[in-house]
Chains A and B, each alone.
Chain A
């Protein structure tokens, strides 16, 4: 982004609504970094006004204390060497004699500890995005630049330890050095003239990229949920129908190790909760034999469903989306054939289609990095490990349920556990709210700061429900939140994972609300959206008519219209 574009974006008429307030804490003159951060945040939050405030020049610790006191929605903390010791900057003059170096290192360590303490206190109330020093060090060390100096290595080790501590703190995210290094090489970052004249040390490219990365940490992009892979010349090298199951390869000796690395990545993604399916124009039996090869680097059980036939790929993708019960915007299709990708893209415009560049090692490597970013997740939850298994079980479950649904529900041995959500340490509840579309009361999304504010309110309740049955645990699959208002309960947040559909868990949720709060009526802040069809159908079934906002449900009416419920309830929270 050029500065003129950033200015135009930042100055465009603001959206209506509650402003998203961000504090930019740094010790230098923020200048264009402020403009770019605001512009990138506006792009990420098009529906909200964005305000970015800055602190005082030259005093990062005081600016951090100000951020703690004023409670912004998020804080961006940009640390440079000069914040750790002024002798590591360019504006303040001091001694660089060898005898001064231990003192500089000691002060740097102490200042990092002070900043870490502030960042931790900040993170208790808001989300925090941090960038560690990005600029080159001035020639302080007595060693030549081509030789590592113990002093500088120690300095960098202290910063690395700070980053490790900060990333381990809930609510703190740190700018990733690989992405920054790739987009702005270290030698292209410092503008000494600007630093001396205005106190702003960054070249404009660094302002742009750092603004983008900080904005991404503050408002993270939605990660993809599933990957549908082609097989021939993608998961393996060769055509299995011609070469046979033993004739396809993915190893170094055959010069096809890029396919092996792709398998490795898919295996790692699957273990982290990403859904993996196959769509291939092939003979199904031959493919099954290839997938059972012991040297395959992905657990073949993780590939589900497998659409292997001679029909159009777009139809295969459609069936996989239905089996997974996820939207096309959450899915990536990888295929070596551009024509197949074009056919899929035409039928499913929201799917991300990526070509597997078979035979081009560097391009495959770039693809693997891109896939890692598209599916990347900061922390993994218990639900991530359960997701693929529960989707596989859904197929078995549908087969069993094809008989009597009542008998099926009665024999599930389902257990529902309701727990209050206490604090924002567990990332799963907010993930549920922000990533659920089909059973979502109103489609409302929350920033981390909004979520923390909600959880801190003494008037409100927030329950999360976990579920398990004889097909296995599903983990935390539903969240419901609101407040009591006299004889009524106001529910403004209610989501349920699509993996939990068809088990009447939603009925159990309403039943528990009536039972636990003892209210005569529940009022749901329902808003129909393009995608919450499952919730609309639930209300329509209960009310006997299409729901209109807000939905009011009387206890007696619910009792009369609620079908039989079979699950055992565990751990009912007090309302």
Chain B
């Protein structure tokens, strides 16, 4: 679990470069103006490369915040 969060933060920082380090863990599709449909595709592609897990675009409706994505990754790849 400890390993996943900093890696996910790095992914968020790359896709949303305007977010500060404090803002990233609280980021959600409602709070980040740049988080549109294209940013979602970019974020999912970055996550697939980083964590080697396929993310179905159909999951986009559920994966709408840093926290929810972290939960999703923990369930898919574990916290190791």
Contacts and interface: CB of A to CB of B under 8 A. Distances in A.
Given A11-B17, A193-B57, A4 B49 contact: yes
A269 interface: no
Contact of A31 (B11, B15, B41): B41
Contacts of A200: 41
Contacts of A35: 42
A194 interface: yes
A194 B41 contact: yes
A208 B72 CA distance: 27
Interface residues of B, number: 14
A2 B15 contact: no
Chain A interface helix/strand/loop/mixed:
helix
Interface in B33-64: 37-38, 41-42, 45-46, 49-50, 57
B38 A32 contact: no
A31 B42 contact: yes
A393 interface: no
Nearest to A6: B14
Contacts of A32: 42, 45
Contacts of B11: 4
Interface string A461-498: 00000000000000000000000000000000000000
A560 B45 CA distance: 70
Contacts of B49: 2-4, 204
B37 to A, nearest CB: 8
Given A3-B46, A4-B49, A204-B49, A198 B14 contact: no
A203 to B, nearest CB: 10
A4 B46 CA distance: 6
| Residue in A2, A7, A8, A198 with the greatest tally of chain B CB atoms within 10 Å | A7
A197 B38 CA distance: 11
B38 A3 contact: no
Contacts of A2: 46, 49-50
Contacts of A194: 41, 57
A7 B38 contact: no
Interface string A177-217: 00000000000000001100110100010000000000000
Contact of B41 (A4, A7, A11, A198): A198
Contact of B50 (A4, A8, A29, A197): A4
B45 A7 contact: no
A368 B21 CA distance: 49
A198 B38 CA distance: 8
A446 to B, nearest CB: 32
A4 B17 contact: no
A32 to B, nearest CB: 6
Interface string A141-154: 00000000000000
A204 B14 contact: no
| Residue in B14, B37, B42 with the greatest tally of chain A CB atoms within 10 Å | B14
Contacts of B14: 4, 7-8, 11
Given A8-B14, A11-B17, A3 B42 contact: yes
Interface in A1-49: 2-4, 7-8, 11, 29, 31-32, 35
B80 to A, nearest CB: 20
A32 B11 CA distance: 15
Nearest to A197: B57
Nearest to B14: A7
B10 to A, nearest CB: 7
B41 A3 contact: no
B9 to A, nearest CB: 12
Given A193-B57, A197-B57, A198-B38, A3 B17 contact: no
A422 to B, nearest CB: 45
Contacts of A11: 14, 17
Contacts of B45: 3, 32, 204
A575 to B, nearest CB: 51
B35 to A, nearest CB: 15
Interface of B: 10-11, 14-15, 17, 37-38, 41-42, 45-46, 49-50, 57
21 contacts: A2-B46, A2-B50, A3-B42, A3-B49, A4-B49, A7-B14, A7-B42, A7-B46, A8-B14, A31-B38, A32-B42, A32-B45, A35-B42, A193-B57, A194-B41, A194-B57, A197-B41, A198-B38, A198-B41, A198-B57, A204-B45
Given A8-B14, A198-B41, 10 more contacts: A2-B50, A3-B45, A7-B17, A11-B14, A29-B38, A32-B42, A193-B57, A198-B37, A204-B45, A204-B49
Closest 4 CB pairs of A and B: A7-B14, A197-B57, A11-B17, A4-B14
